[in-house]
Amino acid sequence: MAVPRRLPIGTEVAATERGAHARVWAPGHAKVTLVIDAPRREIVLGREPGGYHSGFAPGLGAGDRYAFRLGDDRALYADPASRYQPDGPLGPSQVVDPAAFAWTDGAWAGIAPDRHVMYEMHLGTFTPEGTWSAAAAWLDYLADVGITTLEIMPVADFVGRRNWGYDGVNLFAPSRVYGTPDDMRRFVDRAHAVGLAVILDVVYNHFGPAGNQLFAWSPAYRAAQASEWGDSYNYDGDDSAPVREYAIANAGYWIDEFHLDGLRLDATQAIRDRSPEHVIAAIARRARDAGRGRPIFVVGENEPQDSALLEPPCELDALWNDDFHHTARVALTGVVDGYLHDYRGTPQELVSAVKRGFLYQGQLYPWQRKPRGRPVRGVARNRFVAFLENHDQVANLGFGERLVAVSDPATLRALTALLLLTPPLPLLFQGQECGATAPWRFFTDHDGALRDAIRRGRAEFMAQFARMATPACQSALADPNAEATFSACVLDPRRRRLDDRHVALHRDLLRLRRTDPAFTDARPEALDGAVLSEHAFALRYFQDDAMGDRLLLVNLGPSFARPAVPEPLVAPPERAGWRLAWSSEDPRYGGHGTAQPFDRARLAIPARAAIVVVPDRGAALPDEPPPHERDRPGQP
C-alpha cells in the first residue's frame, strides 16, 4: 500500500499512527536495515521496484535517532534525506516532524520579483554567536535599513565546525552548527513578520569533499565527469532518474517545510544535463509549485553569463551580473589584474552595465581566450543582480579586505548610489551597509591531506593575480583551515547603528529606491545614459509625466564644471529647472557638502560624487534673448 509522503525518500513521521515511515534508494543492495538508536532495535526494509527500500517503524518519533545498515556491512550510514544531523554528517540522523512547528506567517504574501533588495548573509559570521537565534535579533535593523530579501549562504550540513557552506553533504539537513531545524523555521517566521523574504543558496553542482556517504548507497549518484570542485551529480547518465529526483525534491523541500521565498542556484554552469528537460528547469518549477501561489524567486549564478537561463524552459527570475561588479571594482580600486583583466571601470562601461546588463554578450573575452556571454536583447534590467561585493569577490581579490578598506570613501559612496538607484536588483554583502572592516576570507575545517590540498588550491587560485603570485604574498595568505581565519571574519554587531554614516547612506538610498518609482522603472524607454567626460556620466530616468523624471549624475574624477553641456539627457523638462535632491557628499555620510549643481552659467558635479536632481518649476531659467542679440541697437 502506498504511504503518503512529503518527500520521495527519507524518514517521515506518520500522520495517522504512532511511528515513522522510512524510504531510501539503494539499487545495488539486496538488504537495507533501519537501525534505531534507543531503545536499540533493527528493522529490515522491504524492497520496492526501481531499487527502493521502505518500511514502517512503530514508535519512532520526532527527536529519535536512527541510521541504516547497507547489506551485511556493519557500518552505519546517515539517511540520505536526513532532516537533521545533530552530530554531523557521519553521525546518526534525527527524526524531525515539520508539521509540529507553529507558523505565524499566514498573512505573508512574499516580495514581487522586481522589488528585491538582497542581503547576502553567512550565518556563522553574521554574529559572534553564529546561530539562527542570534541573527534573528537583527532582522528589525535590516528591515529598517531597507533590505527586502535575505540571501542565506548554504546551510546544508558539512564536516567540521566552520565552512562557507559550499561543501555541504546532507542536502536536507540544516547544519547543526547554526541551530536546529526549528531554529531556522523560527528565523524565517520572524523575518516574514518584519517584512523580509528569505532565499537560500543551494549547491546542486558538486558534492562536498568530505563526509559524503551517497556513493555508498549507489555509485550512480556520481556523474562521469567531475566539476572543478570535485565529483558532480549524475543528472543524465544511467540510473539518473532517482538522482534528479533527489535534487528536485530538495528544492521543493526548502520552500515547503521552511517557508522560504526562493533559491539562489550556485554555479549553474557546472550543472551538466543533456536530458530532454534540463534539471535546472525542473528545480525551478518544483520550487515555485511548493510556494502554493506565493511569488518564489529563483536566481542563478552563471560565470559564462548564459542569458538562455532567463528564457523557457529554465526561466530563472534573474542572473548575477559579474560584469557590473568587475567594472565597478576597477573603478573603485584601479586594480586591473587576474579576471579583472578585461575591464577598465570607465563611465561607458558603467552606463552600459546598468542599461544593458552583461558587458560581454558574445564578443571575445581575452582573459579566457574565447567568447563570453550571450545577447540579452529584450531582457528587463531588473532580471540582473548587481553588486559591489559578494562572498566570492571579497575573498578572491586579495587578503579579503572589504571595499571600505581599499577604495576612496567618496568614490565608494558614489558607486553605492549607482548600485542602489538603478533598476537592476541590488545585492549587499553582510556588513557592507555599516562599513564593516572585518575581512572576509575562505575558511573550512578539514584535516589531513584534504587540509593541505585546500591550502595549496587556494594559493594556486590567487596566483592568477600577479601581485598575489609573489612569494611574500603567497606566504601571507591565511590558512583556510585555521580557526583564526574564520574568527577574523566574524562581524562586530556594534557597527550596526542607524546613526552610523554608512548605514545612513544605504538607508537613505534605499528609501529613495522604495518611494520613487523612477529608479526601478524597468521599461526599455525609461532609462538612458550618456558619458559627459573621461570621469563623469549621467543617467536620465524618464517618466510619463516629465516632472517625474530624475537625473543621476556621477563623477569619479576631479570636480566637474562645464559652462555648457551639449547632451540632451541633462536638459530639464520644459519650463522647469533642476533642483538638488540628494548628494553622496552630504556631511551626514562623511562628505563635504554640495552646492546647487545647475545655475545660469554651468553644470557642476563635486569630485568623486553622485548627485540626484529633480525637476523644479521654480528653478527654471528666465527667458532671455540669445547673447548675440542682447546688445543689438533698438533692443530695450
Give the pLDDT confidence of 500-514 residue by residue, as tens digits.
Answer: 999 999 999 999 999
Question: Strand 93-94 relative to strand 65-70: parallel, antiparallel, unpaired?
Answer: antiparallel
Please state, in angstroms and rounded to a whole number, the distance separating the CA atoms of residues 413 and 583: 9
Locate 206 and state its grid cell. Answer: 558538486
The H or E element spanning position 370 is strand 370-371
Q: What is the pLDDT of residues 142-160, one digit of tens each?
A: 999 999 999 999 999 999 9
Please state, in angstroms and rounded to a whole number, the distance separating the CA atoms of residues 138 and 191: 10
Nearest of 351, 349, 372, 376 to residue 360 by alpha carbon: 372
| For the chain, percent of residues with pLDDT exceeding 90 | 89
Nearest of 245, 286, 235, 243 to residue 262 by alpha carbon: 286
Q: What is the pLDDT of residues 264-285, one digit of tens each?
A: 999 999 999 999 999 999 999 9
Taken in order of first residue, the domains within the chain and their CATH numbers are 10-100 (2.60.40.10), 114-206+258-508 (3.20.20.80), 521-619 (2.60.40.1180)
- Residue 268 gets which letter from DSSP? G
Mean pLDDT value across residues 423-443 = 98
Please state, in angstroms and rounded to a whole number, the distance separating the CA atoms of residues 249 and 403: 39
Please state, in angstroms and rounded to a whole number, the distance separating the CA atoms of residues 83 and 507: 38
Please state, in angstroms and rounded to a whole number, the distance separating the CA atoms of residues 399 and 554: 29
Active-site option among 157, 236, 257, 301: 301
pLDDT tops 90 at residue 75:
yes
Q: Collect all residues with Cβ–Cβ distance below 8 Å to 79 and sequence separation of at least 6.
A: 10, 11, 22, 24, 66, 67, 68, 93
Specify the pLDDT at position 623. 61
Answer yes or no: 42 catalytic.
Answer: no
Locate 251 and state its grid cell. Answer: 528544492
Least confident of 288-297, 448-457, 480-489: 448-457
Q: Could you give the residue ranges of the DSSP H alpha helices within 489-612?
A: 501-515
The H or E element spanning position 325 is helix 322-333
Specify the pLDDT at position 635. 44
Cross-strand partners of 43: 34
Residue 618: pLDDT band with limits 50, 70, 90: confident
> What is the reported pTM?
0.95
Q: Alpha-carbon Rg of the chain, whole angstroms?
A: 27
- Residue 572 gets which letter from DSSP? P
Single-letter amino acid code for the residue at 597: P
Please state, in angstroms and rounded to a whole number, the distance separating the CA atoms of residues 80 and 534: 57
Specify the pLDDT at position 294. 95
Residue 629: pLDDT band with limits 50, 70, 90: very low
Check whether the bond before 39 is cis (ω within 30° of 0). Answer: yes
- Residue 503 gets which letter from DSSP? H
Cross-strand partners of 580: 613
What separation in angstroms does the CA of 525 have from each of 274, 355, 380, 541, 542? 38, 10, 11, 9, 7
Determine contact, residues 387/301, Cβ cutoff 8 Å. no
Please state, in angstroms and rounded to a whole number, the distance separating the CA atoms of residues 291 and 285: 10
Active-site option among 266, 322, 433, 516: 266
Answer yes or no: 266 catalytic.
Answer: yes
- Residue 282 gets which letter from DSSP? H
Please state, in angstroms and rounded to a whole number, the distance separating the CA atoms of residues 194 and 143: 7
- Residue 222 gets which letter from DSSP? B
